Amino acid sequence: MENNLEIKDKFIDRTEELKEEKSFSQWREMWDMLKQNKTAIFGMIIIVILIIIAILGRYIMPYDPNVGELSQSLQTPSKLHWFGTDEQGRDILSRIIDGTKISLRVGITAVAFALTIGTVLGSVAGYYGGKIDMLIMRFMDVILAFPSLLLAIAFMSALGRGIDKAIIAISIVTIPEYARIVRSSILAVKESEYIQAARVIGNSDSAIIFKHILPNVISPIVVRATLGVSSAILDTAALGFLGLGVQPPAAEWGSMLGSGRGYFFNAPHIVVFPGIAITITVLAFNLFGDGLRDALDPRLRN
């Protein structure tokens, strides 16, 4: 009896080793293929630059982003103010640099929160099934029945204005996307042999889910999270444009568009440069996410 148990333990250990080796090999192949995708690398470079700007922004801003002179208002781009000034005489370049930190913070934090909650809910629904699955997924369907931006506006109206409230509202409306992806991925692998072997040796359900299942279905989750950051940044800008997101005098790209829309014909640079910043950021995350999706697709690797 003891010999049989030893053989079974060795078999499980060897299975885990082979699984880890296969996982490492797949990630290496993914990186090799990602490097061949020039648009994805371009997007990744832009993301790295944006992160550096967000971290070092206060050291590279030419002016205080929240202080201006009315006598300098609505100036066109010049040597002193590369992107011009807004209606209050504040330097637009400095405000865009400062807004990078806010947009990335909201986008990444909202996705991280939604990903965590969605992964837990999707894992429980997919692994246990039955009434638990039906209850969780029907609740997710209710949230998905409403347009995400409209629902975020409703949450902002209830929670109040501010960056923390924006993070909560955006994350709540995106939880169902991650829950559905995780659930479908778990349903595809939960009856695999290595999962059954993990049950035989007495692993708990939580250990099976987070140690054996999720590491093997992480690819679609990572891709969706990358693309989700761009969606979160767009939602943040939309809330700011409507006056529901980050409040003045904080420099947020959407609020800059909202406050400058009345000067579009007299001083178009007020809205052009924040709009370009939003476009470049969203495009960078989308390009990198698309390239990551292609690199993680085993059919394309083969």
Look up the CATH number of the domain holding residue 36.
1.10.3720.10
Q: How many domains does the chain have?
A: 1
- Give the alpha-carbon dihedral of 40, 42, 44, 47, to 10 degrees: -140
| Average pLDDT value for residue range 265-289 | 90
Which two structure tokens, joined as six digits, stand for 177? 């996307």
Calculate the alpha carbon distances from 101 to 97, 107, 144, 298 in Å: 8, 10, 29, 35
* Cβ atoms of 217 and 185 closer than 8 Å: yes
Tens-place pLDDT, residues 28-51: 777 677 777 788 889 899 999 999
Compute the average pLDDT of residues 177-197.
81
Q: Which of 222, 187, 287, 288 is nearest to 27 (CA)?
A: 222
Which residue stretches of 129-162 are H helix?
A: 130-144, 148-159
pTM: 0.81
Q: What is the pLDDT of residue 47?
A: 93
Q: Kindly report which listed range (191-195, 230-234, 274-278) carries the lowest average pLDDT score.
A: 191-195
- Asked if residues 40 and 34 have their Cβ atoms less than 8 Å apart, the reply is yes
When the pLDDT of each residue in the chain is averaged and rounded to a whole number, the result is 81
Which residues, at least 6 apart from 158, have a Cβ–Cβ distance to it below 8 Å? none
The pLDDT assigned to 18 comes to 46
**Whether residue 248 has a cis bond before it, omega within 30° of 0:** no
Give the pLDDT of residue 126.
Answer: 86
List, for residues 211-269, the tens digit of each pLDDT value: 777 777 777 888 888 888 988 998 888 888 888 877 777 788 888 888 888 888 888 88
pLDDT value for 19: 52
Do 114 and 228 contact (CB within 8 A), yes or no? yes
CA distance linking residue 252 with residue 95, whole number of Å? 8
Which domain does 166 fall in, by range? Answer: 2-301
pLDDT at residue 15 above 70?
no
Residue 9 has pLDDT above 70, yes or no: no
Tell me: the pLDDT tens digits for 145-171?
888 888 888 888 888 888 888 888 899
pLDDT at 1 over 80: no
Q: Which residue has the tokens 């929240």?
A: 66
The amino acid sitting at 77 is P
